[in-house]
């Protein structure tokens, strides 16, 4: 083993390690890294531009099997996404808890944005004994500028006061700052040193507020890694790791992702590996969404990876946790991140799909929850 990378022999050995055995041993020593999943909540606000866009992307019949379980078909076969309710989000919480993941990483938006509805319902949930925690995954572009910091930054410090906010390494709130590109750093922050100052101030205010020193993961895109080197992060990661190929197998996607983990080691910081639950953007390519302004209809429709079988996804996660433990002790990240809970139109999801395919949360339950006898909560929303 050299520079934290797995030898071929060790890599092949880790392919054969049952995830349940690996995690049971880690759980016994109370050292298993946390496992989180990204939430991108476009599905819950009918008539909003974003919900309408994803409705159109998954409306064609060939993509209906990827619809989240709560989507409905009308008599004319059109698709609707009902407005989010507390009961529906409570069921998703139960599904996530059943799967064994430890937290959701909510993609951050303003409080009044429809994309924040699911977060509001999550925070309002009164279900007893919920152990599912949360953190924020924030695009750098939403942090504002060097001259005008976004109110979102202070809002996130307040969210860190929540008892359900995930803490690592003692009392450090886990926080992802992502989509860090050289262009944004230069155009909005006047260079990396001013952004480093803003990150340092974020830490200071968090400590002053009594919520602890955030554990900040600087995240993607991977080809901008050199931009992050002076920003003062605690770890590095990625939102999603993929590349444009023609009709690749899922095994090829995992190979690309796992190579990406090793590329991230160049930052000389702990790496939070991203586990890819899939990558197939054909719905968005056929019906481009308004925020992807450079996407032309149909361009790249042949560039996607095959959908994983549940056991393939479990094996990929197993390798991520094994990979973390293979790093030097001082360089081990406290968590792995799954892309994603609900990026259904991009191809990465854990959330059950219509009519009630729970195979992905079931396979994680069987491995992450060793010995847990909880029943699969299914897909029926209580009324």
DSSP 165: B
CB-based contacts of 293, cutoff 8 Å, min separation 6: none
Closest to 172 measured CA to CA, from 372, 334, 360: 334
pTM, 2 dp: 0.91
pLDDT in tens, 200-245: 999 999 999 999 999 999 998 898 998 898 999 999 999 999 977 7
Among residues 126, 124, 106, the alpha carbon closest in space to that of 116 is found at 106
DSSP assignment letter at 191 = S
Nearest to residue 100, comparing CAs of 359, 368, 342? 368
List pLDDT tens digits, range 353-375: 999 999 999 999 999 986 677 89
Q: Set out the domains of the chain in order of their start, with CATH numbers.
A: 8-368 (3.20.20.80)
Angle between helices 359-368 and 19-28 (to 10 degrees): 50
pLDDT tens string, the chain, 383 residues long: the values are 333 334 334 433 444 444 444 444 334 335 789 999 999 999 999 989 999 999 999 999 999 999 999 999 887 778 999 999 999 999 999 999 999 999 999 999 999 999 999 999 999 998 765 789 999 999 999 999 999 999 999 999 999 999 999 999 989 999 999 999 999 999 999 999 999 999 999 999 999 999 999 999 999 889 899 889 899 999 999 999 997 776 799 999 999 999 999 999 999 999 999 999 999 999 999 999 999 989 999 999 999 999 999 999 999 999 999 999 999 999 999 999 999 999 999 999 999 999 999 999 999 999 998 667 789 999 999 76
In the 8-state DSSP scheme, what is residue 5? B
């Amino acid at each position: 083993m050299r520079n934290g990378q797995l030898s071929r022999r060790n890599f092949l050995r880790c392919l054969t390690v049952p995830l349940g055995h690996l995690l049971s041993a880690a759980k016994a020593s109370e050292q298993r890294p946390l496992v989180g999943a990204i939430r991108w909540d476009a599905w819950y606000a009918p008539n909003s531009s974003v919900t309408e866009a994803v409705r159109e992307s998954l409306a064609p019949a060939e993509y209906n099997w990827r619809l989240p379980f709560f989507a409905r078909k009308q008599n004319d076969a059109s698709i609707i996404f009902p407005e989010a309710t507390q009961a529906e989000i409570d069921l998703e919480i139960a599904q996530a808890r059943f799967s064994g993941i430890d937290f959701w990483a909510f993609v951050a938006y303003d409080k009044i944005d429809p994309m924040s509805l699911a977060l509001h319902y999550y925070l309002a949930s009164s279900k007893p004994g919920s152990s599912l925690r949360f953190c924020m995954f924030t695009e750098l572009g939403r942090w504002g500028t060097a001259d005008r910091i976004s109110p979102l930054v202070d809002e996130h410090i307040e969210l860190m006061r929540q008892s359900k906010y995930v803490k690592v390494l003692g009392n450090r709130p886990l926080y992802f700052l992502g989509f860090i590109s050289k262009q944004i750093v230069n155009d909005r922050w006047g260079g990396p040193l001013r952004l480093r100052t803003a990150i340092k101030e974020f830490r200071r205010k968090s400590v002053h507020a009594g919520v602890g020193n955030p554990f900040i993961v600087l995240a993607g895109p991977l080809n901008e890694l050199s931009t992050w080197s002076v920003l003062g992060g605690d770890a590095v990661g990625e939102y999603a790791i993929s590349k444009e190929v023609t009709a690749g197998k899922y095994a090829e996607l995992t190979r690309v992702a796992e190579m990406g983990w090793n590329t991230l080691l160049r930052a000389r910081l702990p790496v939070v590996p991203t586990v890819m639950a899939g990558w197939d953007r054909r719905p968005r390519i056929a019906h481009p969404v308004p925020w992807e302004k450079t996407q032309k209809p149909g361009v790249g429709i042949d560039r996607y990876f095959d959908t994983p079988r549940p056991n393939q996804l479990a094996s990929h996660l197993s390798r991520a946790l094994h990979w973390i433990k293979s790093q030097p002790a001082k360089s081990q990240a406290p968590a792995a991140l799954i892309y994603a809970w609900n990026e259904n139109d991009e191809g990465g999801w854990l959330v059950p799909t219509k009519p009630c395919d729970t195979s992905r949360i079931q396979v994680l339950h069987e491995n992450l929850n060793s010995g847990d006898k909880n029943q699969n909560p299914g897909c029926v929303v209580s009324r």
